[in-house]
Structure 1
Amino acid sequence: MTTAETMRLSDIETCPIRPLNQAEMKSALSDLKDIARERPEIAALLASEGALKDFVVAAFTLSPYLRDTARVWPELLVQAIGAPLLPQVGDAIGEARAAWDPAAHADTSEAAVMTRLRRAKRRVAFLTAMADLGRLIDGRRTTRLLSDLAAAAVAAAIDHLLLAAEASGKLRLKDSRRPSEASGLVVLGMGKLGAEELNYSSDIDLVVFFDPQADVVIDRYEAAETFARLVRRLIRMMQERTGDGYVFRTDLRLRPDPGATPLAISVDSAMLYYEGRGQNWERAAFIKARAIAGDIAAGERFLRELTPFVFRKYLDYAAIADIHSIKRQIHVHKGHGEIAVKGHNIKLGRGGIREIEFFVQTQQLIAGGRVPALRLRSTEAMLKELAAAGWIDEATCVELIDAYWFLRDVEHRVQMVRDEQTHVLPESDAELKRIAFMMGFEDTAGFSNALVEVLKTVERRYGALFEQEAKLSIEGGNLVFTGQRDDPDTLDTLRKLGFQRPEAISQTIRTWHYGRYRATQSVEARERLTELTPELLRVFGENKRADEALLRFDHFISGLPAGIQLFSLLGSNPRLLSLIVNVMSSAPRLAEIIAARPHVFDGMLDPGLLAELPTRRYLAERIQGFLAGARHYEEVLDRLRIIAAEQRFLIGIRLLTGVIDGGRAARAFTHVADLIVEAALDAVRREIEAAHGAFPGGRVAIVGMGKLGSFELTDGSDIDLILLYDYDDAAAAESLGPKPLDATRYYARMTQRLISALSAPTSEGVLYEVDMRLRPSGNKGPVATRITSFAKYQQEEAWTWEHMALTRSRVICGDESLADEARATIQQVLDRKRDVAAIARDVGEMRALIEQEKVPKNIWDLKLIPGGLVDIEFIAQFLALVAPARGVELPDRTLPTGEALAIVGERQMEPNDLDTVGEALRLYTEISQIVRLCIDGPFDPEDAPSGLIDLICRAGDCPDLRTLEAEIKRLSKAVREVFKTTLKAA
């Protein structure tokens, strides 16, 4: 064995790292003393003096992760100081590979396999980190060991899952002792895993295919679902956190068209995709692809067949344009700013690891088709091969190899601090010093100087490779929009970028350049837009419906009064550009709102938009501030429409980007409605009093019903209102104004004016559609109801469904004394002890009637499907109505359905049933909020923008639509059973 493989930490003659500070040293020594009480080996270490003790203490001051690991699993520290490290790491990797094997383990349950893999990962990570920090191994060996572990863990999990599938009757394996062999299941490691260059705390990128010709699936029609289910379990086995930690976070987004395909697809489908629709970034990704698990022979065969896609035979103009397209993609990554030290992204920032990798991959894509020697996976080996073949000089090769491993060492130490998958250097001096010491530097200044020199070297070499960048993208002919006719090369480029109708896109962009819109009339605006065009095309082209999204953007800028500020902002703000593209590609409804009322876009320019949560106080301040200074009734209403549209839009943007979830969005939309209705009522009262005078002793309160009452509005929801009033009978029979009215007509007029203020269309749009059918006697009753009549009706005449509706009622504004009376009346009605069986019959009949009259369109009609939102709301309302009869206390205020159900259901439902309904409600809420935000009308997967499908999958926390649909079916079936059980128990 080599010296490195026999070396122990005790062989360190001089400690290569420094402790962070005295306080951390004392703390680390204290922890070691605690360990020493149980471990004599550690007690001996502490009693000694020398480089080994100094190293362990320093390492524990610098890496809280290593220190915590040793505290919880002290045997790892004993192993690290007691024997050569590399053989132990090799043993742990071997244990991981055999974790599935019945010949080696009596217990081969999934839980047992997961435990073995996690323990192996923990051992390898700890021992490798100690060897790396101790300079017993370098970055080359570190990345190789971590990659070997990942491949072993995935292979073991795959073998276990194949055996489990055979046991369940889904597969017929060729040899159960070697489950993967000839299984046709191809598992490719991508990126750094494929190149055996894995990070210390890296995700692993996998792509999974299956070959139906392997003939291992018993029912060939179930092949796709069987292997997709297997991959879902693989993800769980790898990344679920247990008491033993996790193995690797797993990412499968490098598979073909990840937003629309299952987790595993057939090799034939994959090949058709890559040959017909493969993207530039996928060509680059497959340079490093390696078969790591499953049927290795089938995986290597697939990669051989894919070679013509990755490495094109001829070097032609289109290939150069493609390569340039990849070059442009790299610049949209966050962190690609100026060279710095604090906060610099070692991977994506200027002069970073990605630039070295791209330097190599670009030349591989250019020449790999003609020169097979340039098809290697590892970065260092490829740099040497490029030098040997004369593509780069020897000095460039040496500089970039040295820079690469220096930056990888920095990256490992950044991740080693707390086992975080990050590539960003700390912002603070204290934390930056930690990294400098881990790198072996005496101080932060020395580390910073060395780092900046490396980054500048990489940037210089990388920049020299793309001196012709501007020529390639603009002047070379592939993105030319001058003249009257379409440039053939440009149309070809647009097709490759993802546009289906390049002629229409070319014509649209010429319209911009000709200055036919107000936003593009100035020379400066056109220049900014011209600079922005390549990036716009690239980002829009990544969407399935690129043409549609770009044309929405065109519609948007056609309505702008000016463009230079916006185009400058988009050019310098990738976040804002991504946000715009996100809206245009996934949310047609929001895109139409922007196009029709561009002023709503102003709020997106607020840098604090995604940092500020839309609380009631936050929204109230903005609405009140916007209304300040409005003098006339119509001006107030117009300002209300403007600010309501803007704030609803901005809540939608937060929801779209994942800053808030569906529940928080629902509450925020409700807060906006509350505040707008209150402001509109104040304006209407002033207007009525100006015309008809005040009514003696008159009081008004607005009751919100339905989703408004329960804080569950979506964007675009109508609002259910009841206007209650009261007055002093003894004071006067009419209002005290120039045109007096009796009480009935006075408050009816006020209600009608309020409805008109909220729902009448104007140039600024409509505030809300108003529904008042939940008032006493429905559409047949008066539009405004006196409090005494309301109380009498609810107590003596109201039907069960009207009392159910009361469980979601809430006084949202008005005179406080009347509001208190209304709340007391409602509470009195709800506190009544009812005939539980009779209520159950009524609820069951109502649900059956709805089911008969309103048939759900498909599984995505979440409100009406059996086990959908109606069932959940009915469960909550039924339990609220019968709670007093069962001695269950009702909530003291109106709550969202989920929160109310948790209270009234705690003593009336089985815990599992309550959990099931809560889980379904959360899922339905997330999906419904996104759908209502993004489109008008029902959701149809066949007709939905690809971006919306991705959003819905994200909202449902599922990898694809098929998985999400299965989850909805599972939950809705369970909810329907709970609904039946709840009523039956009554």
Structure 2
Amino acid sequence: MTEPQAQDRHQDSAQDRLIDLAESPIRAQSATAAKSVAADLKSLGAEHPAIAELLAANGAAREFVLAALALSPYLRELALADPQTLSLALTQPAAELVSETIAGARDCWRNSDGRLASESELMRDLRRAKRRVAFTLALNDLARLIDCRMTTLSLSMLADAALGAAFDHLLRGAHNSGKLKLPDPDRPSTDSGLIVLGMGKHGAGELNYSSDIDIVIFFDPDAGIVVDREEATDTFARLVRRLVRIMQERTGDGYVFRTDLRLRPDPGSTPLAFPMEAALNYYESRGQNWERAAFIKARAVAGDQSAGERFLDELVPFVFRKYLDFAAISDIHSIKRQIHAHRGFGDIAVKGHNVKLGRGGIREIEFFVQTQQLIAGGRMPKLRRRRTDEMLVALARARWIDTVTARTLAESYWYLRDVEHRIQMVHDEQSHTLPETEAELARIALMMGEADTAAFGQTYVAVLKRVEECYAALFEKEAGLSGAVGNLVFTGEDDDPGTLKTLAELGFERPADIARTIRTWHYGRYRATQSVEARERLTELTPELLRVFGATKRADEALLRFDAFIAGLPAGIQLFSLIGSNPALMSLMVTIMASAPRLAEVIARKPHVFDGMLDPGLMAELPTRDYLAERLEAFLQGASVYEDILDRLRIVALEQKFLIGVRLLTGAITPERAARAFSHLADLIIGAALDAVHQGMEEAHGRVPGGRAAVIGMGKLGSRELTAGSDIDIILLYDHDPDADESDGPKPLDPVRYYTRLTQRLVAALSAPTAEGILYEVDLRLRPSGNKGPVATSIRAFAKYQAEEAWTWEHMALTRARTVAGETSLCDQARALIDEALARPREERKLKSDLVEMRELIEQEKPPRDIWDVKLIPGGLIDIEFIAQYLSLHARASGWLPDDQAGNEVVAAVDPATGQAAPRPDPGECTGTDITLKTLGPQALGQETTEDLRRALALWSGHAQIVRLCTEGAFAPSEAPAGLIELVTRTGEAPDIASLEADFKTTSKRVRALFRKITG
């Protein structure tokens, strides 16, 4: 048969088929639409005889073409932009035309004379080739002259050709510029070591009509084509960026293929082109189950094809595991969970149904096949095919599924792909959803050859139900895999709609962000999730974690704090296992993340603090001084080097502050007990730091004869009322022999310089930032003369200053002074001097006047932010503390005595009003503002007033403890985490934040009135 005869035979059969279709419902377009298309085409007839002949024939073929172009605005646009393509599609067999066009595209990287084409020429030729192939396939597909298999395969071959031409162009250009040195410049990709893998439908040869292409690009540094090996990654990354532009930038000729690179290893943190050896290491150690599924269809599509095939051969053990170990079974279950998730995505319907992701859709058939491949592919190489229809046949031949199921799913697959293609042919959009409107749905029905939407819907729904029945029978025993909370699937790069819906129902406001965060756990990007076992444990925990986090308000913020915590963990298996087996620990973790941003930040920065949470007796033991001293001593044991001691102090202090805070957060201890615990810890840390600094001074400078030092705690440290975020106010006192001139070490210092340097080193030890953080911010401003005075004060100067120069407010501050560390004899001497200074006679009116003046000054210089600023508000903490300090000074001046050497606050030896012995507090009790009120208030103020003040103090102090524990800044209900709101209201014994605010305002007014009454 001659070529003209073959051509005539093809045209005859095509015309017959077109006549048959012309009698089908596809002709049922409106006369107006057909006339409009005919008018557009008529103007092209003069230069294109085939088009003129078609229009003149006025037969079935004409009606079909007009109807097809009216149904698809995209095809109509292509025909008008490139009438030559329409002419060729009408006169040349589709297979021949497509094959010639693809061959031309593959070689368009160079001109006919062998010279490198320009990038603009390459982009133009590839886009015109895409336009010609797309139009030819669509017209012949609608005419049923070709089937969906040829359409998908041809589009995949075109993608291969376009990528091959683009990479050859880029490699040759880099060679010409001296960046690369190719083994064979006329065949740029050969032995280049550049591996381009087509993934998903591209790799399987099943591309959609308007599909993106998913590619992964690796390179072999040992191929030696990069002139500067150090620049290999950057060089290939630049090539890939240019490739993306070549492929997807829209020009006047359109685009070639939208290109997606997100299937490369850990795409959020890796270069666009990945070294081959590093990629193999990644997949071996951190590869995910969804990546295994993705690589089932991977194929070398461009670049160094031989290297690509070798790379895929090395990946076989990763994709197809020989044994069904625990990790493999978990992976398979994850894939099954995704199938079940998609089962739940919408009801079987027609309008608005997603033909790819919806129930009974394409994705379910693909997952059905891929799951069986993951299970059996390791032992049965025949089950390692890429195409879905071929795999269904292979599964049936291997008796893995029955032939009826294989045939049903294969037929359903191609029917659904036909529907998908017609959806995309309308406007060349990457859509998989049937239209919502009757008119647009009718368009799809007609393109499928159905009489109307009812007939199409009947056929379509029947196919979906058959698919659902097939895989439902296969997975009926796995119904619980999606979990009681709903669909939760985090494999792959794309969001699963069912999962987003479940996250929203659980209480998350930004489901897509949460899904993206959880997917990063599966990448193994964090140290804690790099091992397969750790990822398995975390995956098992995820549904319950999401349920518990979702039950909190502002669940998104809480989970993101948990993500930051995981990011900082050195390892995860033990912790994830413990959380999984200990609901109370999980609940506590969620409470911290939801309620206490400050604590969450602490454990995110220093995950080791969480180690103490693993102690099962944590909540049962109170953080007493003895308890804390025992742990501090154990942690410091064996440390002798100064820097090591300080680092250990920072570690143990941070951990114990955290654990005290956790006890407070959970209600295991009261705010008052927490204040004492924070203060006990500070005492012990200051004492240990002072010892370490002393030792360092003695090694460098020796000892000052008769030298002694003591640290006085002031402010909240002195009154044992520290919070989690408190600074510490201290004064360092020293003494020495009167005739001591200098220390006796190798580098002697006079006493003033010696103790000045000791104080400076102590402050640095406590407050200097290091890798382990800081211990405390230190404030020395309460020392004699404040910032103007020396940082270290001799005991004699201290006594003289307090007796002769100190202001009333300094004596007020001194009522809370307490020795916290240092030489015992000097501590006793300091205590006696303080008692003596505070017991001096005072003129009552001046005392009150000074107190009021001081309070007014504070009010002017530091006005409160709002009612939640419980320290500064009128009637707040400062008012109550001033009342207590007034009572203390007044009582001491009236003959009340301090408790003997107990370091306690002022108590009365004899009540001057009754002459009876006043009750002494237990030396182990708190010695702060509350004990002063409790001891001195009833006699001076009356029982009712005292109790009013103590209740207000408990309210303010409890609020301050919780806020300082949970946040760094001020408390603002509109911005605070919901969990913190709940904690604050619980601590304030209020039903809600509005009631608490009202209580605060009432209490503030009442205390301010008492303050005015007491101070006259």
Quote the residue 1:915 is aligned against.
Answer: 947
- Please give the alpha-carbon distance, in whole angstroms, between the structure 1 residues aligned to 2:694 and 2:822: 11
Q: How far apart are the structure 1 equivalents of 2:527 and 2:544?
A: 22
Map Cα deviations across residues 798-840 of structure 1 (whole Å, 9 max, x no partner).
0000000010000011111111110000001111121011100
After superposition, the C-alpha distances for 1:100-156 in whole angstroms (9 at most, x for unaligned) are xxxxxxxxxxxxxxxxxxxxxxxxxxxxxxxxxxxxxxxxxxxxxxxxxxxxxxxxx
Taking the TM superposition and a 5 Å limit, the aligned residue runs for 1:412-431 are none
Q: 1:918, 1:537 → 2: CA distance? A: 42
- The Cα offsets for residues 362-396 of structure 1, whole Å up to 9 and x where unpaired, read as xxxxxxxxxxxxxxxxxxxxxxxxxxxxxxxxxxx
Say if 1:872 and 1:975, in contact at 8 Å, map to a contact too: yes
1:910 is displaced (CA, Å) by 2.1
Distance 2:841 2:576 in 1: 64
Match of 1:946 among 978, 995, 1001: 978
2:848 corresponds to? 840
- Letter in structure 1 aligned against 2:701: H
| SS at structure 1 position matched to 2:483 | helix
What is the distance in 2 between the residues matched to 1:733 and 1:700?
17
Deviations 1:222-270 (A, max 9, x none): xxxxxxxxxxxxxxxxxxxxxxxxxxxxxxxxxxxxxxxxxxxxxxxxx
CA deviation after TM superposition for structure 1 residue 941, in Å: 0.4
Contact 2:344–2:498 (CA<8 Å) still a contact in 1? no
Say which of 869, 872, 886 aligns to 2:880: 872
Structure 2 residue aligned with 1:762: 770
Which residue matches 1:798? 806
Query: Structure 1, residues 755-793: CA drift from partner, whole Å, max 9, x if none?
Result: 000000000000000000000000000000000100000
Letter in 1 for 2:668: V
| SS state at 1:883 partner | helix
How many residue pairs get aligned? The number is 522
Give the aligned partner of residue 313 of structure 2. Answer: none
Using the alignment, how far apart are the partners of 1:659 and 1:622 within structure 2?
A: 19
Instruction: Judge conservation of contact 1:880–1:890 (CA < 8 Å) in 2.
Output: no
1:718 matched to 2:727? The reply is: yes
The 1:804/1:515 distance shift into structure 2, 3 A limit, reads: same
User: Are the structure 2 counterparts of residues 980 and 888 from structure 1 closer, same or farther at C-alpha, using a change threshold of 3 Å?
Assistant: farther
1:442-469 Cα deviation digits (max 9, x unpaired): xxxxxxxxxxxxxxxxxxxxxxxx9866
Distance 1:483 1:859 in 2: 49
Within the candidate set 953, 962, 979, 2:1011 is matched to 979
- Equivalent of residue 811 in structure 1, options 816, 819, 831: 819
Could you tell me whether the CA contact under 8 Å between 2:646 and 2:689 is conserved in 1? yes
| Partner Cα separation in structure 1 for residue 627 and residue 667 of structure 2 | 19
Q: Does 1:699 align with 2:708?
A: yes
Partner of 1:822: 830
State how 1:289-688 maps to structure 2 within 5 Å.
317=344, 470-473=480-483, 478-688=487-697
Indicate how the Cα distance of structure 1 residues 697 and 557 shifts in structure 2: closer, same or farther if over 3 A, else same. Answer: same
- The Cα of 1:977 is off from its aligned counterpart by 1.0
Cα 1:891–1:861 change in 2 (3 A) is farther
The offset of 1:890, in angstroms, is 4.8
| Contact kept in structure 2, 1:862 and 1:924, CA below 8 Å | yes
Aligned to 2:834, the other structure's residue is in SS state: helix
Give the Å deviation of 1:795: 0.4
State the SS of the aligned residue for 2:941: coil
Separation (CA, whole Å) in 2 of partners of 1:887 and 1:490: 74
- Cα distance in 1 between the residues matched to 2:571 and 2:820: 40
Q: Which deviates more from structure 2 when the two are superposed, residues 889-898 or residues 643-652?
A: 889-898
Residues 763, 778 of structure 2: 8 Å contact kept: yes
What does 1:725-744 correspond to in 2, within 5 Å? 725-730=734-739, 732-744=740-752
Which residue in 2 is equivalent to 1:898? 930
TM-score by length of structure 2 reads 0.51
Structure 1 position 930 matched with structure 2 position 970 = no
Map of 2:104 onto structure 1:
none
The residue identity in structure 1 corresponding to 2:988 is G
Residues 753 and 717 of structure 1: CA distance in aligned 2, closer, same or farther (over 3 Å): same
Structure 1 counterpart of 2:738, one-letter code: D
1:854 and 1:517 map into 2 onto residues whose CA distance is 45
SS in 1 for 2:938: coil
2: CA distance, partners of 1:971 / 1:916: 9
SS of corresponding position for 1:785? strand
Q: Which amino acid aligns with 2:869?
A: D
Deviating more after overlay: 876-885 vs 566-575: 876-885
One-letter amino acid of the structure 2 residue matched with residue 747 of structure 1: Y
The answer (yes or no) to whether the contact 1:889–1:904 under 8 Å persists in 2 is no
What's the Cα RMSD here?
Answer: 1.7
Distance (Å, rounded) in 1 between the aligned partners of 2:609 and 2:961: 20
One-letter identity of the residue aligned with 1:858: D
Match of 1:749 among 757, 760, 763: 757
* Alignment of structure 1 residues 201-350 onto 2, 5 Å: 317=344
- Give me the whole-angstrom Cα distance separating, in 1, the residues matched to 2:841 and 2:345: 78
Q: Aligned with 1:568: secondary structure?
A: helix
- Cα distance in 1 for residues equivalent to 2:997 and 2:1010: 20
- Contact 1:477 1:487 (C-alpha < 8 Å) held by counterparts: no
What does the per-residue CA deviation read over 1:585-642, in whole Å, with 9 as the maximum and x for residues that have no partner?
Answer: 0000000000000000000000001001000000000001100100200000000000
CA distance in structure 2 between the aligned counterparts of 1:884 and 1:472, rounded to whole angstroms = 71
Amino acid at match of 1:695: V
Conserved 8 A contact 2:528-2:569: yes
Could you tell me whether the CA contact under 8 Å between 2:345 and 2:497 is conserved in 1? Answer: no
Check if 1:854 corresponds to 2:862. yes
Displacement, 1:491? Answer: 0.6
In structure 2, what is the Cα distance between the partners aligned to 1:801 and 1:891?
A: 23
Q: For residues 725-767 of structure 1, what are the alpha-carbon distances to aligned partners after superposition, in whole Å with 9 as ceiling and x for unaligned?
A: 000113x310001110001000000000000000000000000
Distance 1:945 1:318, change over 3 A: farther
Structure 1 residue ranges without an equivalent (≥5): 1-315, 321-465
Q: What is the Cα deviation at residue 472 of structure 1?
A: 3.6
For residue 843 of structure 1, report the CA deviation from its aligned partner.
Answer: 0.3
Change (3 A) 1:799 1:518: same
| Equivalent position amino acid for 1:939 in 2 | F
What corresponds to 1:882 in structure 2? 890
1:914 is aligned with what amino acid?
Answer: T
> Given the superposition, is the C-alpha separation of residues 508 and 809 from structure 1 closer, same or farther in structure 2, using an over 3 Å criterion?
same
- Letter in structure 2 aligned against 1:746: Y
Shift of 1:898: 0.5
- Report how far residue 906 of structure 1 moved: 2.3
Which position in structure 2 is the counterpart of 1:332?
none
Which residue identity lines up with residue 618 of structure 1 in the other structure? Y
Q: What is the TM-score normalised by the length of structure 1? A: 0.52
Per the alignment, in what secondary structure is the counterpart of residue 769 of structure 2?
A: coil
CA distance in structure 1 between the aligned counterparts of 2:779 and 2:651, rounded to whole angstroms: 22
1:585–1:477 CA distance, 2 compared to 1 (3 A): closer
CA–CA distance in structure 1, aligned partners of residues 1002 and 875 of structure 2: 10
1:76-225 matches, cutoff 5 A:
none
Higher Cα Rg, which structure: 2
Are the counterparts in 2 of residues 883 and 890 from structure 1 also a CA contact under 8 Å? no
SS in 1 for 2:571: coil
Secondary structure (helix, strand or coil) at the match of 2:940 reads coil
Q: In structure 2, the residue corresponding to 1:500 is in which secondary structure? A: coil
For residues 144-173 of structure 1, the C-alpha deviation after alignment (integer angstroms, 9 at most, x for no partner) is xxxxxxxxxxxxxxxxxxxxxxxxxxxxxx
Deviations 1:906-934 (A, max 9, x none): 21102211110000001111111000000
